[in-house]
Amino acid sequence: MRAREYLKLIQSLEDFAQSDGSEEGKRILDGLCQLLETGVSPLTEHSQPLVSRSAQSLRLLMERDGFVLPASIYESVQYEYDFDAAVRDRSVSSRVVQKYLRLTNAAGRKIGDWQRSNHFSEDWKVEVDGSREETQIWIGQDAMEDILAISLEGYLVSAGRGKPFTEVYATCFGSMKEERLRQDSGLWYVRHFHVDKILPQIRSKATPASVLPSRKTLEEAHLQVAASVFPHLHYLGDFHTHPYASATGIVRYKLWDLTKADRDYTLENISMMQELGCRDRVMLILALGRGRRVRNKKYVSENVQPFKVGPCVCYLAGYKVLDNGRVSSERIRLHCPSRSL
């Protein structure tokens, strides 16, 4: 953190506040506190070009650091985590912290007041939320059977025209439950997602190395079926396969991992999906290839389950989708029904 640059810009804004009349000066100080707490402030659009320029430079500096001060404030207020520990975790300069505390105090406010009174969705906030939760994905028996049936069909039955196999795509429906835990380090959440139903998309466009979901299938067919046949289940996210000629290649290239295309797709489509009332929360990927047995379990983490079905070695991986559309593999445990494996 470039503490000196921060302090210089903060000081110049304080100087503007002092040189201005008391009303406008107070507004500038308030705007400065708001900027330090949230990264957003009317000051960046201030009528005095010198004020707005300093505020914009300060925001840019904060952005470069990943908004460590707002993130620390948010974590301490929202998750009841010790403020000193939060700023220490993110290596926020103590001189900048002192300055922020002094300004907030002088404005007669408490830590986090600006965050409480402003509704905003910034990436740093989503990242803090993501780091404070653990995800448990439970695959139900019926869902597991469907996953295997469509995945093995897509892999073992040629799609013709020189395609030995193709990826397959489906959406997942189920239920969710949230647990709140209070620990010495503050509040934590455990989110359980139960995947109960898998709806394969026949109209998705699949090749051996890609699959393009069909929005029309979701919008015009599957959501209608869901609403009338299983309205008690929520849309939870989607599922697709990563097929490969051999199980050795699956392990060598860790094909259960997310590809750049997987990450980009979710990121680009999160708002379109929300328009349909479908908030993506989980993403499942099944990597599969021919092989005799599951090897190298050391490659596998808690969000990945290896197993053998028919002639195929399979690795099922569970991911979570954050509010900003970023897909994460952290703090996720995947539970598969053992009966079907």
| Residue partners of 300: CB distance under 8 A and separation at least 6 | 306, 315
Angle at 172 between CA 170 and CA 174, to 5 degrees: 160
Which residue number, 4 or 163, has a Cβ lying nearer to Zn ion? 163
Nearest approach in angstroms of CB 250 to Zn ion is 13
Residue sitting closest to Zn ion (CB): 262
Contact residues for Zn ion, defined by CB under 5 A: 259, 262
Which residue number, 27 or 326, has a Cβ lying nearer to Zn ion? 326
Which residue number, 158 or 259, has a Cβ lying nearer to Zn ion? 259
Which residue number, 13 or 147, has a Cβ lying nearer to Zn ion? 147
Nearest approach in angstroms of CB 124 to Zn ion is 27
Nearest approach in angstroms of CB 265 to Zn ion is 8
Show the 3-state SS of 152-175.
Answer: HHHHHCCCECCECCCCCEEEEEEE
Which residue number, 93 or 241, has a Cβ lying nearer to Zn ion? 241
Q: Report d(CA 130, CA 27) in Å as an integer.
A: 34
Diameter of the chain by CA atoms? 80
* Residues 315 and 305: beta-carbon distance below 8 Å: yes
Nearest approach in angstroms of CB 40 to Zn ion is 35
| Residue partners of 286: CB distance under 8 A and separation at least 6 | 147, 151, 239, 240, 241, 242, 256, 314, 315, 316, 317
| Residue partners of 330: CB distance under 8 A and separation at least 6 | 130, 131
Which residue number, 70 or 306, has a Cβ lying nearer to Zn ion? 306
Tell me if residue 180 falls in helix, strand or coil.
Answer: strand
Q: Report d(CA 290, CA 295) in Å as an integer.
A: 13
Nearest approach in angstroms of CB 63 to Zn ion is 30
Q: Report d(CA 243, CA 192) in Å as an integer.
A: 28
Nearest approach in angstroms of CB 238 to Zn ion is 10
